[in-house]
Amino acid sequence: MAATGTLVVRPLTAALSNDGELFGKADPYVVVQVGNQKQQTQVHKDGGKNPRWNDSLQFSLNNDQVMVFWIMDRDHMSAGDCIGEGQVNLMDIVQRRSVNQSYPVLRKGKPNGTINLAVDFTPGPAQQWGAPTQPGWGQPNQGWQQGPQGHMNHMGVGAPQQGGNWGAPVQPGWGQPNQGWQQGPQGGQGQYGHPQGGFGGPGQQGGFGHR
């Protein structure tokens, strides 16, 4: 299932079995990657095994299937040590639109607690197109009537009622049979006789047809 739109990720809390520190407490932060986009939270100083964050990370989703995250321990002497990592199935997020749940954290391939993530997905414009609301597109307007076969409704488009044809419009003079219209033999299609006021004219001066 392909999807494009905006993804907002909010790492909330973590409950870790090991924060990687023998003495003292770790200073955890979270790095999140979607496609080639990577962002990170603020550092929770001395957060240890139960860190908390309050950051909103925004990504552009372009048919990406998986989101990857790392919980890191800030190290002033290096780029940081990895406390744990995991991933999230983005197709589940796309279908549910909004998720707030815990995901497993692994450290060197072994379970190391969980992280709570709130993730919201907003589809792009191409994903939001639904049934059109303009009159005449899709469902017929109020007043649409079934008419002789082959005649369109007054907007020229739209779905006929169940079992109906493209019927006669409600606007006078367009597609409505004049008094000269007659039923054809043996249930066949009717034929038009001599129209009044010219070709399809609404019967008022200034319409189409003979003046």
Q: What is the residue extent of each domain of the chain?
A: 4-125, 135-170
Question: Looking at domain 4-125, what is its CATH homologous superfamily?
Answer: C2 domain (2.60.40.150)
pLDDT in tens, 111-126: 999 999 999 999 988 6
**Can you list the residues of the chain whose pLDDT is less than 50?**
129-145, 150-170, 173-178, 180-181, 187, 191-211
pLDDT of the residue at 80 = 75
Query: In what helix (H) or strand (E) does residue 51 lie, and over which residues does it extend?
Result: none
User: Rounded to two decimals, what is the model's pTM?
Assistant: 0.59
Q: Which whole-number Å values give the CA distances from 83 to 68, 132, 176, in the listed order? A: 14, 50, 77
Closest CA to 16 of 99, 79, 76, 102: 102
pLDDT of the residue at 53 = 98
pLDDT of the residue at 77 = 65
pLDDT of the residue at 150 = 46
CA angle 41, 44, 47 (to 5 degrees): 135
